Amino acid sequence: MCGIVGFSSRIDNAEAVLEQMMDRIRHRGPDAGGKYLNDEIALGHRRLSIIDITEQGDQPIFNEDRSMVLVFNGEIYNYQEIRKELLAAGHTFKTETDSEVLIHGYEEYGTELLNKLRGMFSFVIWDDNKKELFGARDFFGIKPMYYAQMDGSFLFGSEIKSFLPHPDFKKELNTEVLEQYLTFQYSPTEDTFFKGVKKLPAAHYFLWKDGKLTVQRYWDVHFKADEAPLLGDWVKTISETFHDSVRAHKIADVEVGSFLSSGVDSSYVAAVANVDKTFTVGFGSDEKYNEIGWAKRFSRAIGKENYSHVITQQEYWDVLPKIQYQMDEPLADPSCIALYFVCKLAAEQVKVVLSGEGADELFGGYNVYSEPDGTWYDKLPMGLRRGVANAASVLPAKRGVNFLVRKGRTLEERFIGNAYMFTPAERKALLKIETSAADPTAVTKPFYDKVTDQDAVTKMQYLDLHLWMTGDILLKADKMSMAHSLELRVPFLDKELMHVAEQIPTRFRVTHSVPTDDHTPYTTKYAMRLAAKRDTPPETADTAAKKKLGFPVPIRVWLKQDDCYNTVRTAFVSPDAEQFFHTEKLTQLLDDHKNGKADNSRKIWTVYMFLVWYKVYFGTPDAIPAGR
């Protein structure tokens, strides 16, 4: 795992600027650094040594005649197979790394190389003969890639913060993204909070030549249910494919560990991977917020050692500026901070850790998937349900009211993903500034348009795979692990396992009707839970049925306490807040929450995280935290 940076070299002191850019992402690769410069291009690389940990694995890496040069972030799990093909085709290798497969593979196959790969990656290749830059990002967006075109320069890198030292980079806030963020809790489109900086979408590549950029998709998810196999057949196929994926994800020349919560995803990974060490964090002693006791019992049952840490309230709040610095863009997911601490814990013991991200999106794991259209209420005319929803929308948010509001909207209108913070009307009322940000449904429409023939569950999965998973789940996984020079691998997000998941009928993903042999009614990830049950010890068999907590954070409770309330209130009436928000409405949200009138904790947190991030990147120079 590594970090990459680069730019078109049309500036003075290009080498010094490149060094500064590389220093900004040293945490991604503390083991070594390398660079390549000529009159057209500057490429930089920071290395975290995982495979071929000798110096011959350092980057940049060249082809035989040095006409092509590569910098790469990620791991290619089937590189040995591709290497054999390339050797047979006459290519000469100088290293044992997976990196070198990419440059010879691009020589041999061009962009078709991408569909041969199995792994997580973002990389660029400079072709000095064609004066052309090729860059690509993996199928699911596990590894990040940002780019910008400013004042004639083309910049790219693993993290936006690496752009800051470049003389052509203009640091400006993108207020349209701020408005979208207030609804989604992350930036949901290709645009970022920095005006002019874009994300290369997952499963896309770019070509940059003569100052012109083209971006192209090379792969997509295609759900097509195969009704022929029985449930038992699907369970067997999931098990076999997942075991194969875990074997591939364990390839390393260093020790590999595993995260462990009380849910089925991480438990399944830990049990199958047979790693020596597992890692868990929690808050206090309340089992609503602490999975450590369960994780230790599970680890003992599979014969592994569990390392744990109880995060204090003070620790959590103190680290928020560092978190938002590492994230590059504000993220309002409270579990991001817990992930930071479990990565810190793991990095004290190992260089590589396995985690359970992606299982919910592939196999239908979110609770919202178990509430598709089909209840008796859904049989009422939509006009009637809309009227009820409009009336209910003015009432304080709570479970029954929320149900009525949701059911008065079509799926495409009501479901934008696993987080829906501020409605378009609420965010307009809260913001003092005016933007031309699109309605959330305009953001989701291109994805819904690709699955018009699918059922509601599959539509939600497809949307989450492209927005929520990439924009929230995988973003925090990459940034929080790399903040501690830790490589995080996700065996569920494997191209072969996705091919299996695409074919599983909806009734075997999300169901209310099929009981298990012990009469436990699974409703989500049904077939996958049965597969997991085959690999978990009998004494922990309830793992398959247990609802995971997902790094639960007690912010709802904390925001009612005077110290936390006062911290947030100070931010809500600050000059930074005054620039963007009607601050009296911010404080009203906070007061209503403290007084028990409404649970506004997630909305409060969404605004507060933006303000913390804004102070770090647009405040005084010393606002950027040093170190980890």
Residue numbers annotated as active site: 2
Structure tokens at 441: 């449904």
How many CB atoms lie under 10 A from the CB of residue 260? Answer: 32
Residues 123 and 76: their CA atoms lie apart, in Å, by: 11
* Residues 6+ away with beta carbon under 8 Å from 214: 206, 207
**What is the three-class DSSP state of 276?**
coil
Residues 30 and 9: their CA atoms lie apart, in Å, by: 25
Are the beta carbons of 269 and 354 closer than 8 angstroms?
Answer: yes
Are the beta carbons of 603 and 572 closer than 8 angstroms?
Answer: no
* Residues 6+ away with beta carbon under 8 Å from 368: 415, 418, 460
Report the DSSP pairing between strands 197-199 and 146-150.
antiparallel
Structure tokens at 453: 């023939």
**What is the three-class DSSP state of 562?**
helix
Cα 113 versus chain centre, distance: 24
Query: What CA–CA distances, in Å, run from 158 to 215, 239, 494?
Result: 17, 33, 21
Residues 40 and 37: their CA atoms lie apart, in Å, by: 8
Query: What CA–CA distances, in Å, run from 16 to 44, 60, 61, 166, 559?
Result: 11, 17, 21, 10, 45
Structure tokens at 215: 């971006």
Are the beta carbons of 358 and 249 closer than 8 angstroms?
Answer: no
How far apart, in Å, do the first and last CA atoms of the chain sit? Answer: 18
Q: Please list the helix, strand and coil fractions of the chain in percent, rounded to the nearest 5, in that order.
A: 45, 15, 40
Nearest residue to 500 via CA among 233, 266, 218: 233
Residues 7 and 21: their CA atoms lie apart, in Å, by: 10
